Structure 1
Amino acid sequence: MSEKKSAVAEKAPVKKSSDNKPPVKNEKQARGSRDSARSSSSSGSASSLSDDQASSVNSFDSYTQQPQSYVPEENSKAKKTNSLRLVPTETVKSLQDMGISKNAPIPDVNAPTAQLNAIFPEEYTLETPTGLVPVATLHSIGRTNTSITRTRTRQMSRNSTGDDDDVGDVSGDGDDKNANEEPEIDPEIEFVTFVTGDPENPHNWNLTLRWVYTIILSTLVICVAYGSACITGGLGTVEKKYHVGQEVAILTCSLMVIGFSLGPLIWSPVSDLYGRRVAYFVSMGLYVIFNIPCAISPTIAGLCVCRFLCGVWSSSGLCLVGGSLADMFPTETRGRAIAFFAFAPYCGPVFGPLVNGFISVSTGRMDLIFWVNMAFAGGMWIIVAFIPETFAPVILKNRAARLRKETGNPKIMTEQEAQGMSISEMLKTCVVRPLYFAVTEPVLDMMCFYVCLIYSLLYAFFFAYPVIFGELHGYKDNLIGLMFIPILIGAIFALFTTSWCESQYIKVTLKRKPTPEDRLLGAMIGAPFAAIALWMLGATAEKHVIWVGQASSGLPFGFGMVLIYYSLNNYIIDCYAVYASSALATKVFLRSAGGAAFPLFTTQMYHRLKLHWASWLLAFISSAMIVLPFAFYKYGKTLRAKLSKKDYSADAM
């Protein structure tokens, strides 16, 4: 055959075979025997192989019909002679034919976040005919730890002035000194990939099934977001049960949102090590359990602590679902799936006051609010448990373990296993680098500030509406909750618009190489609507104006809110493609901080500034932010070059 083959010895001692070769006595001789087998198979000559070995080679003729058959099944004769079995692996030519070159691409978003300087980042997205890629072959192409590190350092530092050594230590880029000291990966290791048409590859799953999973996971996000705002429909029940003021009752909402910002520090590493499925199952299970003390806590302190922990546990639904969707859809088609993800975290909180306002008015029971939340979370916990693992590194890691057992070759593994998972690198990826970006990247800060503003305004509505509709019109919590329906309607319209924006982006990619600024179309459409909504809310905040006037402001807000988040989320990913997970972690932290802070002063702001000017103050801020997506669309590349310390976009690589 033309394919390179690696010889794998049986566990039993190797006796003298029919080709009169001496027995293998030690590791050095075993390596030589394997090299000999490789040489024989690559030259296409089977004359030096035993009959059993030749039979094994011929058994690979049916490989294309059996893509999962990495290793031919042993026949009884092979067991008697303990001869070497030949496993096909990729050659330099086959990899080059698939487009593999010396220059390593940026890892896809579904790559392990804490893996440094990967020499084979295509491992988790590429499908190969054999499913095994030797490190020695990658070295022959030019992929080495040292060369990758040096290349990335030069590219990342090209537009930078100043001392890069210190920056490399924090951002994880590396430097020449560290690169020279970095050891090479054992060339005898063989990396596992998906095979052509692999049914275990989530990208190959049935399209309908993938969309079913997308809807389920988006519902999970709605469930988590709903839990954060569920108590806003019955703050009076908290005040009555614990004899506290409104400010303390509001903490039960804010503390869970704060938990959203800290939870990813736990669930992102868990996902990298054990997979999305384990992270969802464990975290949602804890979330369900901790709703019990929320319902029966005898003190307000206990309720606040448990609400914070509920935010930490449930945050996996916010920080991992986007990755799960990326696992199932390739880059070219994942935009529409991500649009559902953009819709869910902003609409989920709206159901909180909508549903629980009726529970509060009809029963007056705070505990029932949490029992309903627990039932919703428990149902999603059970449903999500049936979704198979989507994280490619974990799928391939499990496959590598099976292959090691079947072949007896301990050097079949993924690159994640070969490099190991450094605790320090995990901390750098999950904690240090996001904070570093928050301090050194003005472009990211501006985008995150806009996302934070929109998210904060959503939570501000939960406490502005009770003032407007409760104090002005005398409505109770159940009718106040109904006023949020226009926000949902506007968000649904935005969902259809995001699909159109995605089709426009695809047209751009067919004409030319896209830039991160091409992602800003949705934000440019949505930005004016968010400001219009607040101007409407302030202008109609009069007792003689029918309630429809104030409630209708939710339509443009819901529309603009989803479009802005969808667009800026994609823009951040494209601008910081090299460290997309860290940039998104910065966004999540700042967004959650704003969402937790705004409820604490919104009611007082509306009382002090009155209904008109409180809304108009927010409208002025939102109007000033309209210019942001338009300015970056026109001058984004120049601004990124001047304001950013380095270019982290795909173009930099």
Structure 2
Amino acid sequence: MSSESAEGVVSKGFGSPASTVEHTGEKIIYVEFEDGDRRNPLNYSRVKKWAITLTACFFTGITGAASSSYSISTPSMTAELHCTQLQATLGLGLYAIGFGIVPLVTSSFSEEIGRRPVYIFSSLMFTLTQVMVALAPNIEAVIVGRTLGGIFGSTGASLVGGSIADIWQPHERGLPMSLFAFTSLFAIGLGSVIGGVIQSNPNLGWRWVQWIHVMVSGLFVTLVLVVMSETRASIILTQMARSARKVTGDGRHKSRAELHKESLWSLIKTACSRPLYFLLTEPLVQSFSVWSGFTWGVVYCLLESVSPMFETVYGFDVKQTGFIYAALSVGALVGFLANLYQDKLYRMYYAQKKQEARLYLACVAALCLPVGMLIFAWTASPNIHWIVPMIGLTLFMSGVMIIFQVAFLYLADCYNTYASSAQAGQSLFRNSMALVFPLFTEQMFATLTYRWGLTLFAILAIIMAPTPFVLYFYGSKIRANSIASRKILAAEAQASETSTPGLEKV
């Protein structure tokens, strides 16, 4: 029997029979969940799980729509505030960079105080930043408001993946995670459509785009207060332990998190340094970071260029070009359906290919990116119907959706307990590219024209196309030479002696 043998129990109503252990001279009664305990997030009802999942994904959609609707409404903004297009573009890029940098720090707060308070605070502050932009008297206020919007929007949106992991078993997470990725990308196209409709009305303009976001974000705050429950198990157990101490007057009731608690500074230090370590040293993280970073940068370039391109080539007005962005949403939907099929392939071939079974459709996406971009570049002509370049745009966005999802799940499979750090490193690089790319978009297209500028992107996509193929054939060998991966492989080998891991993967 271990040193933590069961010599005491927690009072009924506070947890299951828990072990006691000598700790600094006193016996500690650990508070644990009972089997089937409904307070355990993994045991929430399916209705409650989906309510939490959809609410969290809704926040992701709001933040995604806020990026694209801002971009399409900049013409009236630059006219009213007498600013340059580059200044307006900073509002787009700085919003995106918040999603790469800020979660490195703020993710630690959810471990300290729980996820629900962070959702409430970040959604409320995000709403206030939209008010700030809507009332901005100059471009400087807009840029500050957008930067703060990225900070608070990323704080909440970065918790969605963790919230899903809190309430769904590993083999159940495929659909919720696909929905998370889909919502983010679908909203980018939807935001442009709505923004284009509002921008086209001379009585509305860019400020009303922001006011619409204020209304929707305010609705979300109410939804969070009503629907969102705490999903982090360690926080719930800590609350149960406090309640047990208060009711029984016995200070020995503790949760394990209370006894093995790191300081907030230590959590922040680890959260900031480990993703950078993975980004700088791990080939798998580096390869997906460069690939997904390039695609994300191109997406943000398209947010800046699609509207003026169709206005120039086809004579569309801003409302019509707004509907062109619907191709991004359609592409996201196609990619979402493809990812559901990829999940089936993963289950079928995991035994043979292990983690690399995630990469089948990533190989297809590697071909979709340059083909879609070339179609978009070379068919945008007054002599060719506008639906043809839209098909190219849809094909490109389908590839982006697949890559976005595969990057998350593949790194999660490869790095297991270090998955959050690996994904944070990838996210940091990806969103940095979203800041950098739009800064040179206008100058690049002015110099090369839209056709050759987009062709350059297609060439770069061709150069990067071997990425998933190399990982598919050599990913296991690459992991074998990685320090972090060797530790994880050793743990998996030990676990495989008592279980079959294939069915328990995300």
User: TM-score, length-normalised on structure 1?
Assistant: 0.71
Q: Is the 8 A contact 1:346 1:562 kept in 2?
A: yes
Q: Could you tell me how far apart the structure 2 residues matched to 1:543 and 1:134 are?
A: 78
Provide the residue aligned with 2:330 in structure 1: 489
Instruction: Give, in angstroms, the shift of residue 324 of structure 1.
Output: 0.7
Q: Could you tell me how far apart the structure 2 residues matched to 1:186 and 1:639 are?
A: 48
Q: Is the 8 A contact 1:444 1:583 kept in 2?
A: yes
Q: Is the 8 A contact 1:437 1:586 kept in 2?
A: yes
Select which of 316, 319, 324 maps to 1:475.
316
Q: Is the 8 A contact 2:56 2:157 kept in 1?
A: no
Residue identity matched to 2:106:
W
1:309 aligns with 2:148: yes
1:433 aligns with 2:274: yes
Instruction: Give, in angstroms, the shift of residue 639 of structure 1.
Output: 2.0
Q: Could you tell me how far apart the structure 1 residues matched to 2:31 and 2:364 are?
A: 44
Q: Is the 8 A contact 1:575 1:649 kept in 2?
A: no
Per-residue displacement from partner, 1:281-310 (whole Å, max 9, x unpaired)?
A: 001101111222211111211111111011
Provide the residue aligned with 2:283 in structure 1: 442
Residues 298, 194 of structure 1: alpha-carbon distance in 2 compared, 3 angstrom cutoff: same
Select which of 445, 459, 464 maps to 1:625.
464
Instruction: Give, in angstroms, the shift of residue 407 of structure 1.
Output: 3.2
Superposition pairs of residues 90-489 of structure 1, within 5 angstroms: 130-135=16-21, 188-363=27-202, 364-386=204-226, 387-489=228-330
Instruction: Give, in angstroms, the shift of residue 348 of structure 1.
Output: 2.0
Over the aligned positions, Cα root-mean-square deviation in angstroms equals 2.3
Q: Could you tell me how far apart the structure 2 residues matched to 1:470 and 1:648 are?
A: 54
**Helix, strand or coil: the match of 1:368?**
helix
Instruction: Give, in angstroms, the shift of residue 418 of structure 1.
Output: 0.4
Q: Is the 8 A contact 1:574 1:649 kept in 2?
A: no
Q: Could you tell me how far apart the structure 2 residues matched to 1:477 and 1:494 are?
A: 27
Q: Is the 8 A contact 2:345 2:357 kept in 1?
A: no
Q: Could you tell me how far apart the structure 2 residues matched to 1:464 and 1:334 are?
A: 36
Per-residue displacement from partner, 1:485-504 (whole Å, max 9, x unpaired)?
A: 12212221222222222222
Q: Is the 8 A contact 2:163 2:232 kept in 1?
A: yes
1:652 aligns with 2:502: no
Q: Could you tell me how far apart the structure 1 residues matched to 2:368 and 2:20 are?
A: 54
Per-residue displacement from partner, 1:341-370 (whole Å, max 9, x unpaired)?
A: 111222222222211111111135321111
Superposition pairs of residues 566-585 of structure 1, within 5 angstroms: 566-585=405-424
Provide the residue aligned with 1:77 in structure 2: none
Q: Could you tell me how far apart the structure 2 residues matched to 1:339 and 1:568 are?
A: 12
Instruction: Give, in angstroms, the shift of residue 219 of structure 1.
Output: 1.7
Q: Is the 8 A contact 1:260 1:311 kept in 2?
A: yes
Residues 186, 433 of structure 1: alpha-carbon distance in 2 compared, 3 angstrom cutoff: farther
Q: Could you tell me how far apart the structure 2 residues matched to 1:413 and 1:508 are?
A: 44
Q: Could you tell me how far apart the structure 1 residues matched to 2:424 and 2:135 are?
A: 33
Instruction: Give, in angstroms, the shift of residue 131 of structure 1.
Output: 4.5
Instruction: Give, in angstroms, the shift of residue 567 of structure 1.
Output: 1.1
Provide the residue aligned with 1:113 in structure 2: none
* Greater RCO structure (CA 8 Å; 6+ sep): 2
Q: Could you tell me how far apart the structure 1 residues matched to 2:472 and 2:436 are?
A: 30
Instruction: Give, in angstroms, the shift of residue 220 of structure 1.
Output: 1.4
Q: Is the 8 A contact 2:104 2:272 kept in 1?
A: yes
Residues 328, 253 of structure 1: alpha-carbon distance in 2 compared, 3 angstrom cutoff: same
Q: Could you tell me how far apart the structure 2 residues matched to 1:454 and 1:185 are?
A: 54
**Helix, strand or coil: the match of 1:189?**
strand
Q: Is the 8 A contact 2:8 2:18 kept in 1?
A: no
Residues 365, 390 of structure 1: alpha-carbon distance in 2 compared, 3 angstrom cutoff: same
Instruction: Give, in angstroms, the shift of residue 211 of structure 1.
Output: 2.1
Q: Could you tell me how far apart the structure 1 residues matched to 2:462 and 2:116 are?
A: 42
Provide the residue aligned with 1:100 in structure 2: none
Aligned residue pairs, count: 486
Provide the residue aligned with 2:495 in structure 1: none
Q: Could you tell me how far apart the structure 1 residues matched to 2:24 and 2:362 are?
A: 44
Per-residue displacement from partner, 1:241-297 (whole Å, max 9, x unpaired)?
A: 111121111111111112222321443122111111100000110111122221111
Residues 508, 202 of structure 1: alpha-carbon distance in 2 compared, 3 angstrom cutoff: farther
Q: Could you tell me how far apart the structure 1 residues matched to 2:470 and 2:24 are?
A: 46
Residue identity matched to 2:210:
F
**Helix, strand or coil: the match of 2:315?**
coil
Q: Could you tell me how far apart the structure 2 residues matched to 1:258 and 1:247 are?
A: 16
Structure whose CA Rg is larger: 1
Residue identity matched to 1:591:
R
Moved more, 539-548 or 319-328: 539-548
Q: Is the 8 A contact 2:234 2:257 kept in 1?
A: yes
Q: Is the 8 A contact 1:225 1:345 kept in 2?
A: yes
Instruction: Give, in angstroms, the shift of residue 645 of structure 1.
Output: 4.2
1:500 aligns with 2:341: yes
Residues 648, 474 of structure 1: alpha-carbon distance in 2 compared, 3 angstrom cutoff: farther
Q: Could you tell me how far apart the structure 2 residues matched to 1:384 and 1:219 are?
A: 10
Residue identity matched to 2:255:
T
Q: Could you tell me how far apart the structure 1 residues matched to 2:69 and 2:24 are?
A: 51
Q: Is the 8 A contact 2:415 2:484 kept in 1?
A: no
**Helix, strand or coil: the match of 2:170?**
coil
Instruction: Give, in angstroms, the shift of residue 411 of structure 1.
Output: 2.8
Q: Could you tell me how far apart the structure 2 residues matched to 1:645 and 1:194 are?
A: 35
Q: Could you tell me how far apart the structure 1 residues matched to 2:291 and 2:25 are?
A: 47
Per-residue displacement from partner, 1:296-347 (whole Å, max 9, x unpaired)?
A: 1112111111110111011123210011111110111111111111112222
Q: Is the 8 A contact 1:268 1:319 kept in 2?
A: yes
User: TM-score, length-normalised on structure 2?
Assistant: 0.90
Q: Could you tell me how far apart the structure 2 residues matched to 1:241 and 1:461 are?
A: 24
Instruction: Give, in angstroms, the shift of residue 134 of structure 1.
Output: 3.5
Q: Could you tell me how far apart the structure 2 residues matched to 1:649 and 1:218 are?
A: 33
Q: Could you tell me how far apart the structure 1 residues matched to 2:408 and 2:166 are?
A: 17
